[in-house]
Amino acid sequence: MDFLIGMAKRKKQIILLPLVAGVVSAALSFALPNIYQADTKLLPPQQAQSGAAALLSQLGGMAGLAASSAGLKNPNDLYIGMLRSRTVADRLIEQFNLRKIYDTRSNEKARKQLEENTAIVAGKDGIITIEVQDKDQQLVARLANAYVSELLKLTSVLAITEAGQRRVFFERQLEQAKNNLANAEVALKGALDTHGVVSVDAESRSVLETVARLRAQISADEIKLNSMRAFVTSSHPEFKETTEELASLRAELSRLENGRPDASRNAAPNTDGKSGLENIKLLRNVKYYQMLYELLAKQYEVARLDEANGSTVVQVLDPAVVPERKFKPKRAIIVILSASFTFLFTALWAFAAEAREKAIRSGLQPSSQWNELLKHLGFR
């Protein structure tokens, strides 16, 4: 009853103050700009990524990203990280001229504003959702769909699977072998132009080609083992098979070289012996790089086909559309909450004021009651 009596005495304040708070909050909320939100949903290649992880006991990383060693709890984290990358942000800033829209000349500030306006999350169902908010309802839909386009561009150029990384590795080795072969051919041509053609008997030619083939095969297997060490352990069947093959090739090469140290001994050069020997060595190098190039080309094609068969295709489940209604501010909620909190605080004030008046009427001083309260709150 004391509470109700206190509210009844101050009914004007209890009614008017919430009304004033509601009107003021409504005016302030209408001064806020309308914010629109568009979202798109992606279906990443969960099955292909999980198969690679099961085979290799780890997840493939983006261009050798260290996240694989740290261990991603969810394969979708890889794609979320790509979407949040600085590369994607800078491309969107340039494409939509976001520096002008965000009223800044700094790329860093524009990236920060874009990050604040964008939410990229992965649900328990494995679907990635990209939500973009802005004042322009046309821009939010275009930005959300542009995120998808940039992700597709990144996945097409970056090796995010084990097969893709093997393809990139062999591609670099193939390019290096191609350059070495070109240099060896140039050196041989220069030697032949200077010293003339060297005549080599059939047996020496056969030994020369065999040695070059063995050396090329050994180099190719060593390159293959180096590429496999990043994905499998030494107990993997294919790794063990390649290691055994490499040991066998090295033994065969050693036996051949020890039995016949140089094929040039039976050669019959048409110039002095030293020049003929140099020409044979250059010819042997050309043969070696030719065979190495052919072996690497085959492994590169295998890796390329494996990557094509297990290509990671990101599918768009729901493309972003232009929103029909604003996302915020929620003006009705703002008015209701402000009026409700004002009413609650006004009612508590009325009860406190009534209790104070009652204490004064009963002869108790509020200060003495306050001191007594502090006394009882102490631990001594």
Q: How far apart are alpha carbons 97 and 94 in whole angstroms?
A: 5
pLDDT at site 297: 81
pLDDT at site 196: 55
Show pLDDT as tens, one digit a residue, over the chain (380 residues).
766 777 787 788 888 988 998 899 888 888 888 889 999 999 887 544 433 333 333 333 433 343 343 344 456 888 888 899 999 999 999 999 999 999 999 999 999 999 999 999 988 888 899 999 999 889 999 999 999 999 888 876 665 555 666 667 777 777 888 887 788 777 767 766 665 555 555 555 566 667 767 777 787 777 777 766 656 667 777 777 778 877 887 777 777 666 554 444 444 444 444 455 566 666 667 777 777 778 778 777 777 776 666 555 678 888 999 998 888 888 889 889 998 999 999 888 888 777 777 777 666 555 666 666 666 666 65
Q: How far apart are alpha carbons 117 and 312 in whole angstroms?
A: 28
pLDDT at site 146: 93
pLDDT at site 99: 92
Specify whether the CB–CB gap between 296 and 223 falls below 8 A: yes
pLDDT at site 287: 75
pLDDT at site 52: 35
Q: How far apart are alpha carbons 252 and 207 in whole angstroms?
A: 12
The residue extents of the domains of the chain are 2-13+15-28+340-367, 33-161, 162-309
pLDDT at site 162: 59
pTM of the model: 0.51
> What 3 state SS string does the chain have?
CHHHHHHHHCHHHHHHHHHHHHHHHHHHHHHCCCEEEEEEEEECCHHHHHHHHHHHCCCCCCCCCCHHHHCCCCCHHHHHHHHCCHHHHHHHHHHHCHHHHCCCCCHHHHHHHHHHHEEEEECCCCCEEEEEEECCHHHHHHHHHHHHHHHHHHHHHCCCCHHHHHHHHHHHHHHHHHHHHHHHHHHHHHHHHHHCCEECCHHHHHHHHHHHHHHHHHHHHHHHHHHHCCCCCCCCHHHHHHHHHHHHHHHHHHHHHHHCCCHHHHCEECCCHHHHHHHHHHHHHHHHHHHHHHHHHHHHHHHHHHHHHCCCCCEEEECCCCCCCCCECCHHHHHHHHHHHHHHHHHHHHHHHHHHHHHHHCCCCHHHHHHHHHHHHCCC
Question: For the chain, how many residues are written?
Answer: 380
Q: How many CB atoms lie within 10 A of CB 242?
A: 17
Tokens of 282: 């250059």
User: What does the buried/exposed string (b/e) look like for 51-80 if buried means 16 or more CB atoms within 10 Å of the residue's CB?
Assistant: ebbeebebbbbbeebeebeeebeebbebbb
pLDDT at site 69: 37
